[in-house]
Amino acid sequence: MSDKDSFLIFSGTKSRYLAEKICASLNCPLGKLVMTKFSDGEFAVSYEQSIRGQNVFLVQSTFPNSDNLMELLLMIDAAKRASARHIIAVIPYFGWARQDRKDKPRVSIGAKLVADLLSCAGIDRLITMDLHADQIQGFFNVPVDHLYASGVMLPYLQSLKLDQLVIASPDVGGSKRANTYAKYLGCPLVLCNKTRARANEVESMQIIGDVKGKNVVLIDDMIDTAGTITVAADVMKNAGAISVRALASHAVMSGPATERVQASSIEEIVFTDSIPYTQRCSKIKQLSVADMFAETIRRVINNESISSQYLI
C-alpha cells in the first residue's frame, strides 16, 4: 500500500468478523466506531477517531434483519458529516436484490429503493459480490465494483478432482451463471425447470439434461430456505447422479434451511463468508472472500484495474 494513512476501514456490528479478516489481509487496523443502542431499539453511530479527508470503507452486508441496512445508512451519514473524502460501501451481500423488477402489479422494487437510500445517504462507490441480478448495478449513479465468488469457488471445485463432472442450475434464472462455470471447466450443463406453489415453496421440478453416472455441482447465488436446492439434489440422485454438491455465494439459510440440507441427499454445500453462518451442519463449508475484498480495496485506493481478479 502506497499510503497507509489515506484510507480507513470500519465495520457494522454483524460484519465485523469479515472486516477484521480484510484488515488482517491489508495489514491495517480496523477503525474505531461505536454503535450505541437505546432501550426502544433505536441506535446511533459515532466514529471515535478523525476521518476528515480520508477514504472511508464501510464493511456491512445488508442481510436480514433490516437493522444491518440501517446501521450502514447511519455509518454513511456520520462519515459524510465528519468530512470523509470518499465513502465506499463494501457490501459483500446486497439484500433486497431479489426485488429487482415488478413481477406482478402493485409491488415494490426493493433493490432500487435500497440503491436510492445508499446514494442519498452519500456513498461515492459500491463494492459488492454476486448480485442476484446484474442489472442492479444500473440502479446506482456511482461506480459499482461487482466481484464474483467464482474467484474462490473455482479453485476449490478444481481441487476436488471430480470425474464425470456436470454443472447444473437449480432454476432457469441461474442458467447464465452456471453456463459460465461449465464453459470455464469444459463440462456439460444441466438445467432444472421448477414451478412454485408460492414463495419459498417448490411444487414440481424437471431436469433438462443427463445426470446419470455424473458428479453434479449445482451453482447458485444464494440459498434461502434451501427448498429448491434440496429438491434439485433429490431429483438428480433419483435420476442416477453419483453425487450432488452445491456452490452458492451467500448463506442466507433462513427458517428450516439447515434441517433440510442435513436431511437431503446433497453431499456438500459450499458458501462464502459474505453472511455469517452460525448454525451447525456437517454438510456446509464456508470459504473466505476477505482476501478478494482486501485486494479490491487496495486497487481502488491505488487507482488500479480490478478486472484481473476475475477468473470468469
Angle formed by the axes of helices 16-26 and 290-301, nearest 10°: 60
Written as nine digits, the cell of 262 is: 442435513
Q: Which helix (H) or strand (E) holds 84?
A: none
Asked if residues 126 and 91 have their Cβ atoms less than 8 Å apart, the reply is yes
Q: Which residues contact 273 (CB under 8 A, 6 or more apart)?
A: 17, 18, 21, 286, 287, 288, 289, 290
Written as nine digits, the cell of 301 is: 485506493
User: Residue 23 forms beta bridges with which residues?
Assistant: none
Task: Give the ranges where 164-265 is alpha helix by DSSP (H).
Answer: 175-185, 227-238, 257-263
In the set 14, 32, 112, 194, the catalytic residue is 194
Give the whole-angstrom CA distance, residue 78 versus residue 109: 27
CA-wise closest residue to 47 among 11, 18, 90, 16: 11
Give the whole-angstrom CA distance, residue 173 versus residue 132: 10
User: Is 176 designated active site?
Assistant: no
Amino acid in the structure at residue 281: C
Burial status of residue 5 (CB atoms within 10 A of its CB: 0-12, 13-18, 19 or more): exposed
Task: Give the ranges where the chain is alpha helix by DSSP (H).
Answer: 16-26, 67-81, 110-121, 150-159, 175-185, 227-238, 257-263, 290-301
Written as nine digits, the cell of 2 is: 502506497
The CA-based angle 168-292-134, given to 5 degrees, is 50
Q: Please list the active-site residues.
A: 194
